[in-house]
A and B are shown apart, each in its own frame.
Chain A
């Protein structure tokens, strides 16, 4: 197994990672940019068939194209962190590779918080961002009746994508109280570009009900989604539909950071003003340091890129980051999860979808570790990324530090890595 060395390795090719790569490239650094998707853009700038790249993505890729020393590793996941600033990666097409870094920038982004309710495992139930991602990848939804539910501005973005693709969105179901959402709406005046974005996203809003103080109680159907039951305050109503897009906000992707030993806090990886983590030569930027949107991710990524390549950080970037951090705080306040969203599902509702473990069985234990050992929840393919997040929200449990392999890995990768690791003297 070869081991190329890079001055700067960036994990994640979304807004933060691309900004970091652009900034670091200015100094002539040798850069690697790693992403588990087949193309750059992350979630918000996800590319797909018959769709032009979003302008910021197009500009970023065009600029990076002119950089001589940038290597993309697409469809590639980090499997393990090894001593002496080395990572084991696995590429879908090319198998395992080690690489070493001078500086590492984590831009691992966020995933959705998916909470269980009766029927949530039926085909046709997706995340809200999940539906958006699937549509962008070419999943047809034209003429389909869709209910979008959960929490956050992401529901509106999903609404826009679904409507543009010809879906009939029946309602948007937001758990936050009307007053909180209204206050957030008013506060958009502080970020005119976001206000403009909201206006663009909601111009098709007219006619689609937006219900606050409302949650999905149950999804029903025979082998697929056929109806959804919604609790609006004290009332309940059932709508026939084809899809339910259900997501309760975003949570940072911390697996690699934790495996490296980086300190993490409530909101994400802990970083200082220079985007440095608690581990030497490891920086982090974007949603993984705290949910805040693409603009914040871009400014944080750029700062990390300058710092990693030992260039000074332009002052306007620091101001921009501060501004978008204030916006992020307003989003968090506006859409904090209330009691109805945190209500426990019926005990026979599955919590762990990989091992089919009911919520009641998991909740009978005192900690994630005990629940895992006794029920196998979190031991399946997703390794707790879906069910563990739900357990954190519903049961208040802390998650354990992840251990390698950090993603499902082919045995041939581990065997080759093992042989190589003997030379590195590293325990894998």
Chain B
């Protein structure tokens, strides 16, 4: 079902972001961490220095495990960033390391 741009199925304001090229709709004020979980489920969003898959741990901007690239800027913390309409998020493991 396609969402009318700007409104979710309940008629509430939503935002559209892309994660690794895939478009998603999130409710207004959802974090990028939420968008990643909607897109990936409970799977890694970055790769550690020894090759382990990792994702958000502390949820509050301390652990730095939720780093992703947003609109071309690297090392942005997903848990402390609110989704903006049109935001481009990349979890490319080489660039988001």
Q: Which residues of A contact B (CB under 8 A)?
A: 36-39, 43, 47-50, 75, 92, 111-112, 114, 121, 123-127, 129-134, 137-140, 144, 223-225, 242-243, 353-356, 380-382, 385-386, 408
Contact = CB atoms under 8 A, between A and B. Distances in A.
Nearest to B70: A92
Contacts of A48: 29-31
Given A49-B28, A353-B48, A139 B34 contact: yes
A36 B28 contact: no
Instruction: Return the 10 tightest CB-CB contacts between A and B, nearest first.
Output: A138-B34, A133-B59, A138-B30, A137-B31, A381-B64, A130-B59, A49-B27, A356-B50, A139-B37, A134-B59
Given A132-B59, A386-B58, 8 more contacts: A127-B57, A133-B59, A134-B33, A137-B31, A137-B33, A137-B34, A225-B42, A353-B65
B19 interface: no
A126 B56 contact: yes
Given A133-B60, A223-B44, A355 B33 contact: no
Interface residues of B, number: 40
B57 A114 contact: yes
B9 to A, nearest CB: 13
Interface in B6-40: 12, 26-31, 33-35, 37-38
Contact of A134 (B37, B49, B54, B76): B37
Contacts of A129: 59-60
B29 to A, nearest CB: 4
Contacts of B69: none
Given A139-B34, A223-B44, A123 B80 contact: no
B55 interface: yes
B95 interface: no
Interface of B: 12, 26-31, 33-35, 37-38, 42-45, 48-50, 52-65, 67, 75-76, 79-82
A43 B59 CA distance: 10
Given A123-B54, A223-B53, A386 B62 contact: yes
A49 B30 CA distance: 5
A134 B62 contact: no
Nearest to A407: B61
A355 B82 CA distance: 28
B58 A126 contact: yes
A138 B59 contact: no
Contacts of B63: 114, 353, 382, 385-386
A124 B55 CA distance: 8
A382 B64 contact: yes
A50 B27 CA distance: 7
30 contacts: A43-B60, A49-B28, A49-B30, A50-B12, A75-B81, A114-B63, A121-B48, A126-B57, A130-B56, A130-B60, A131-B59, A132-B59, A134-B33, A134-B56, A134-B79, A137-B30, A137-B34, A138-B34, A139-B34, A224-B43, A224-B53, A353-B48, A355-B49, A356-B49, A380-B49, A380-B64, A381-B64, A381-B75, A382-B62, A382-B63
Contacts of A124: 42
B50 to A, nearest CB: 4
A130 B61 CA distance: 10
B82 A38 contact: yes
A36 B60 CA distance: 9
